A and B are shown apart, each in its own frame.
Chain A
Amino acid sequence: DTAVSQTPKYLVTQMGNDKSIKCEQNLGHDTMYWYKQDSKKFLKIMFSYNNKELIINETVPNRFSPKSPDKAHLNLHINSLELGDSAVYFCASSQGPQPNEKLFFGSGTQLSVL
């Protein structure tokens, strides 16, 4: 059973389109995250939710909107996609928001904007 699963695994789309990436965790964790990994493998946090509430919101364009319908799900919607949005997006979860918690990552969604 996959602990943190995200879909789709690959997403190829045209500039200007709107797309969503879904993430679900079956670990019973309270906290979920979205990270972006660029072409140089650099990882940067985008958002974090704890029990459906936003607790970390990094400086990302407002074209990116996370939605957490319940604490097991954190979806990422991206409007008006741009070439620079091409990256691998990782969802992650942790038991709680405490800074000593380890993160469990999904296998990533490779987004290619043409």
Chain B
Amino acid sequence: AQSVAQPEDQVNVAEGNPLTVKCTYSVSGNPYLFWYVQYPNRGLQFLLKYITGDNLVKGSYGFEAEFNKSQTSFHLKKPSALVSDSALYFCAVRPMEYGNKLVFGAGTILRVKS
């Protein structure tokens, strides 16, 4: 069975500094990997996904994520954080085989302070 770990409940960063939100996964076979963001009282919004090819994936709002197969990680990054990036971030994994479900991590709260 697949699983996703987000080891940090919360990440605090100053505005303008780079940010990293960590994610590791466990899945049999090759996975598709996703990041979603949830703002207060809102549904999740898709940020980016890794399917195949280049290990560095670029997504919405200046975010990017790096797929590392040997470390089974898919960390979310941004070179310069904004206060408006403060939200709850979810990493998710889904095996490539049809019929498997998308499994989410527990989420990481990102707080960007001015």
Contact = CB atoms under 8 A, between A and B. Distances in A.
Interface of A: 4, 40-45, 48, 55-56, 58, 90, 92, 97-100, 102-108
Interface residues of B, number: 27
Interface string B24-46: 00000000101010100111111
Contacts, number: 61
Interface of B: 32, 34, 36, 38, 41-46, 49, 51, 88, 90, 94-104, 106-107
Contacts of A102: 34, 46, 49
Say whether chain A's binding surface is mostly helix, strand, loop, or mixed.
loop
Contact of A42 (B42, B49, B97, B106): B106
B98 A103 contact: no
Nearest to B45: A105
B94 to A, nearest CB: 4
A45 B45 contact: no
